[in-house]
Structure 1
Amino acid sequence: MTVSLEQLQRCHVAVDLGAARTRVYVKGLGLVVDEPSVAAVNTRTGSLIAVGALAEQMTGRTPHYIRVARPVSGGSVVDIEMAQRMLRHLLGDKLRRSLRRKPRLRAAACTPHEADPLAQRATVETLIGLGARRVELVDTLIAAAVGCGLPVEQPTATMIMVCGAATTQIAVLSLGSIVTAVRIPVGGNAIDEAIIQHLRQHHQLLLPSQSVRPLQLALHGNGLQTTGPALTEIHGRDVATGLARSAQVDTAAVRQAIHTPLTAVLDGVGKVLRDCPPDLVADLADRGIMMVGGSALLPGLDQMLREATGMPVHIAERPDACAVLGLGAMLDGKIQPMVLNPLAG
């Protein structure tokens, strides 16, 4: 672990700024914020109209002078000022006042694996703007592994896959560190986009981009599995006429459209296993892969991985909040490092 557990235990607040959702864990209070990373701004006055779930509902439904912004993309802050304003409103006045009373407020934040220095700096600047005197950065892969209860500090291999909205991160961990890892620019958004493009090309149907989750609509509970109804009725807007229309969609064809972006994920799993030492791969044959992140709940994705790798695949109990809960466990001192006693000479 790049940051020591002792340093993390001095932190007061943990933040997970994700492309889809922002989560904040306060020491002693637990998870206090779990909202979409969205803010709606009045471009005429510059004032913030809404943040979180309410702002997400406004996507695609606003007049021209209201802009719906997403200050986080791919786990990295792309608009520092907007991210600060969004976080301030999500925390609320009462909680911000209690945090400001800390003489030297320390914060911990998740960063994607191999995030470039600019992205790391943007995360630090965002939290310093909220009053933090010091910010500790923790790799999302390690935080998520701790959050879903994997024995990260032990000398055994654990494999984790963080399925985010914009990226998928896969790693093998041992002794509290990353042995080998890969970050793929394919996530839940790419899968949704593949379905939207399929329906547009083959059915001349436009789906609402953000207001409706096209994935759940199109798969209708089937996921990537071949069981269930062969046809699903989808409602959208006709490309030619602009009128509302419904169409019967072949779920097998939708599954085929989804497979294209998921191939990159399977390639990433193969690369990590090839780069991993043989002794650790032997451990993984028994332990398997732990899936976390919001996109891990895609129906049938775990079965697809099981068939491709031949290893057991598990989904964490709370896959979407594992990273921030892992950071919180480190803040609360629930994680004990393995102590290596020197041999007596």
Structure 2
Amino acid sequence: MSLLGRDLAIDLGAAGTRIYAKGRGIVLDEPSVVLRDRRTGKVVGFGADAVTGADGADGVDGVDGVDGADGETYWPISDGLPQDGELARRMIRHFLRKVHRHPFPRPRLVMAVPDEFTPIERVALRDAGFEAEARGILLVKHAIAAALGAGLPVRDGSGHMVVDIGRDATRVAVLSCGAVVAAGTVRGGGNAVTRAVARLVEDEHGLLADEREAEAAKLRATREPTGNVLIRGRDAGTGEERAVALPAARVREAAVQPVEHIVRAAEHTMERCPPELTADLGERGMVLVGGGALLPGLRRRLQEGLSMPVRRAERPTDSVALGLGRCVEDLGLIAKLRRR
């Protein structure tokens, strides 16, 4: 492998980071999480190593893991941008070295930037990449990458809507002729559903469920649409830990309010589009990407709320990484899109 490193695309998600290597496809898919020792503040794990370390297993690079009570997890990425620059830089560098298996990979990176970004945010994203030892950074708008990964013909003159439901935000964008015509963001994303599940358990059963437990219950309800979902928490009155069984359908009902926010954001975004593109959307509908797109019943609720076709991308969680990967395979595509 060249000392300069293979060209890579990196999708920095709030929940997970995916890396696409030129000629190889997606080679890394790990949580965007960092584990630190509460007592010393020392980082003991990144990504999958951080998850196992939080459970008391070994940490990263030979560093011992910490007990769940002594370890604290940090999620340094929010809305596709570094929120903790130092931790984000170290996490990105760890992932790049893991892919290249070389202490100084020096790859050229293609990264996604939010559709409505400020110059400061652009600089922050580029700095995070360069400080993680990349030799070059190419930026692509998030919605363009998601649409490319979902297989949409983004360079034609028709209107296309992409809705990316991430961990901490939902992005809505309308594209045409290779450009973002209108975009909007709803704070909350899949995390809003997780919090809604936790509130449901507290209101109906008096149990305080932490985020990890509520997230696990949400995912179980996604995988098992029928039957019950077991969720554990501490009794708000006695402090004792106990478990309750909730119907999977009831867990999914908790997502109703966050979905309504997505519907309103989509309506508002469509109102900012030219009439001819609005007509296209009524015929073509929207495409769902992101981890939140996997929630059963979501497509139907959005379809009813917007009175338009709604479909899920074939690989919703990988769509942005795959779209960035198309740009890695053909760097000239980025220039073609910028000229539009």
1:12 aligned to 2:7? yes
2:43 corresponds, among 48, 52, 56, to 48
Opposite residue 17 of structure 1, the aligned amino acid is L
Give the deviation of 1:54 after TM superposition.
Answer: 3.3
Query: Scaled by the length of structure 2, what TM-score is found?
Result: 0.84
**What CA distance in whole angstroms lies between the structure 1 residues aligned with 2:198 and 2:39?**
33
Query: Which shifted more, 105-114 or 184-193?
Result: 105-114
Q: For residue 137 of structure 1, what is the aligned residue in structure 2?
A: 139
Q: Is the 8 A contact 1:88 1:96 kept in 2?
A: no
**Equivalent residue number for residue 240 of structure 1:** 237
1:261 aligns with 2:258: yes
List per-residue Cα deviations over 1:72-119 (Å, max 9, x = no partner): 12221011221222223223367153973x6xx532211222133333
* Paired position in structure 1 for 2:59: none
In structure 1, the residue matched to 2:64 is none
Deviations 1:125-168 (A, max 9, x none): 11101222332221111100001110001111111111111111
What SS does the corresponding residue of 2:199 show, helix, strand or coil? helix
Question: Which residue in 1 is equivalent to 2:312?
Answer: 315
8 A contact 1:219–1:254 mirrored in 2: no
Spell out the pairing of 1:3-42 with structure 2 (5 A cutoff).
Answer: 12-42=7-37
* Structure 1 CA distance for aligned equivalents of residues 122 and 284 of structure 2: 32
Picking from 65, 73, 76, the partner of 2:78 is: 73
Match of 1:216 among 192, 197, 219: 219
Q: Among 159, 163, 181, which residue is 1:161 paired with?
A: 163
More deviation in 116-125 or 321-330?
A: 116-125
**Residue 309 of structure 2 aligns to which amino acid in structure 1?**
P
- Mark the CA change 1:60 to 1:74 in structure 2 (over 3 Å): closer, same or farther: farther
CA deviation after TM superposition for structure 1 residue 270, in Å: 0.9
Taking the aligned partners of 1:265 and 1:237, their CA distance within structure 2 comes to 32
Moved over 6 A (4+): none
Distance 1:286 1:78, change over 3 A: same
Q: Which moved more, 1:156-165 or 1:72-81?
A: 72-81
**Superposition TM-score, scaled by structure 1 size:** 0.83
Secondary structure of residue in 1 paired with 2:145: helix
Q: Which residue, out of 145, 151, 154, partners 1:152?
A: 154
Aligned-partner residue type, residue 284 of structure 1 = L
- Identify the residue that residue 5 of structure 1 maps to in structure 2: none
SS where residue 28 of structure 2 aligns? strand
Q: Which runs of 5+ in 1 are unaligned?
A: 1-10, 223-227, 341-345
Per the TM alignment, residue 56 of structure 1 is displaced from its structure 2 partner at its CA by: 2.6
Deviates more, 1:121-130 or 1:53-62: 53-62
Contact kept in structure 1, 2:93 and 2:133, CA below 8 Å: no
Task: Quote the offset at 1:236 in angstroms.
Answer: 3.3
Matched residue type, 1:152: V
Q: Which moved more, 1:42-51 or 1:288-297?
A: 42-51
Q: Which residue does 1:195 correspond to in 2? A: 197
Query: What is the DSSP-based 3-state SS (H/G/I as helix, E as strand, rest coil) of the residue aligned with 1:154?
Result: coil
Give the direction of change, closer, same or farther, for the CA distance of 1:55–1:286 in structure 2 (3 Å limit): same
Task: Report the AA paired with residue 71 of structure 1.
Answer: P
Q: 1:335 to 1:206 in 2, by over 3 A?
A: farther
Q: 2:128 aligns with which of 121, 126, 146?
A: 126
**Counterpart code for 1:216:** L
- Is residue 18–residue 75 contact of structure 1 (8 Å, CA) maintained in 2? yes
Q: 1:260 to 1:57 in 2, by over 3 A?
A: farther
- 1:58, 1:68 within 8 Å by CA — same for their partners in 2? no
**Structure 1 269/154 Cα, relative in aligned 2: closer, same or farther at 3 Å?**
same
Percent sequence identity over matched residues?
36
Partner amino acid for 2:26?
L
SS of residue paired to 2:255: helix
Q: Does 1:294 align with 2:291?
A: yes
How many residue pairs get aligned? The number is 320
Question: Aligned-residue CA RMSD in angstroms?
Answer: 2.8
2:269 to 257, 266, 272: 272
